[in-house]
Amino acid sequence: MNKILILTAVEAEKEAVLKGLQGNARFEVRAGGVGPVEAAVSATAALCSEAASYDLVVSAGIGGGFPGVAEIGSIVIADSVALADLGAETPDGFVGVDKLGFGSNRLPVEEALSVRLVEALRARGQSVHYGPILTLSTVTGSAQSAAELIRRVPGAAAEAMEGYGVASAARRSGIPFLEIRGISNTVGPRDRAAWRIGDALAALETAATRLSEVVPT
Ligand SMILES: O=C(O)c1cccc(C(=O)CC[C@H]2O[C@@H](n3cnc4c(=O)[nH]cnc43)[C@H](O)[C@@H]2O)c1
């Protein structure tokens, strides 16, 4: 793989990733904005630019970890991505677009490379989890909503706001995709004081270093 695009949401995430990559020239890192729409538009613009010829697209940033699965400061690598709030509210509860007959709200990742990254992180003693990462337009703020998301996506490991948008753009271009999250907070009741952005950015930096080692040439 000669050219890899990494899309973060904000500059602080971009800086952490660049630090981890230690000048590896195969990677291009862009901050594309917060939320699935900004992420999809930014990824599409990058992939459609004249100079573009990417072999891999990565969504990377901080995220919330589901309680009992991914603790603050750990890393989550997606085994799939889910647009968890795309669907309809019905008298029987939320129904996803898949059940409504409008396609799927799950997208795959490049599995072999994701697993290699998980193994490389584990081998260095890093706490890393491999599971579904949810993309949402609204940050979860209650235990009830967190439980509902786990009902929708069993095994959910983390949530963030960009992955599915980037994955969707990559899929349209036929390019493999990965998602990486450094965990800054626990998904559940809102508690800004418990946020550990520094720990999450440090985890993200570590993940970027290992990524630069495991991406094949
Ligand atoms: O004000 C709040 O309570 C609040 C709680 C969590 C996140 C935010 C943000 O505005 C950050 C959005 C930004 O960070 C990523 N992120 C980090 N943690 C989470 C999360 O638990 N759920 C969803 N997104 C999260 C996200 O990808 C955005 O880029 C405010």
CA 37 to chain centre: 14
pLDDT of residue 1: 83
pLDDT digits (tens, 9 = 90+) for 110-163: 999 999 999 999 999 999 999 999 999 999 999 999 999 999 999 999 999 999
Q: Which domain holds residue 192?
A: 4-214
Beta strands in the chain (DSSP E): 4-8, 27-31, 56-65, 75-83, 87-90, 93-96, 106-108, 128-135, 158-160, 177-186
Tell which atom from ligand 1 comes closest to the C-alpha of 61.
27
Q: Which value does ipTM take for this structure?
A: 0.95
Ligand 1 centre to CA of 53 (Å) is: 31
Q: Is ligand 1 within 6 A of the CB of residue 165?
A: no
Regarding the beta carbon of 187 and ligand 1, being less than 6 Å apart is answered yes
The closest of 215, 209, 213, 177 to 18, measured between CA atoms, is: 209
**Distance separating alpha carbons of residues 76 and 72, to the nearest angstrom:** 10
| CATH number, position 69 | 3.40.50.1580
Residue pLDDT, tens place only, 70-118: 999 999 999 999 999 999 999 999 999 999 999 889 999 999 999 999 9
User: For residue 50, is pLDDT > 80?
Assistant: no
DSSP per position, 98-154: HHHTS--SEEE--HHHHHHHHHHHHHTT--EEEEEEEE-SS---SHHHHHHHHHHST
> What is the count of structural domains for the chain?
1
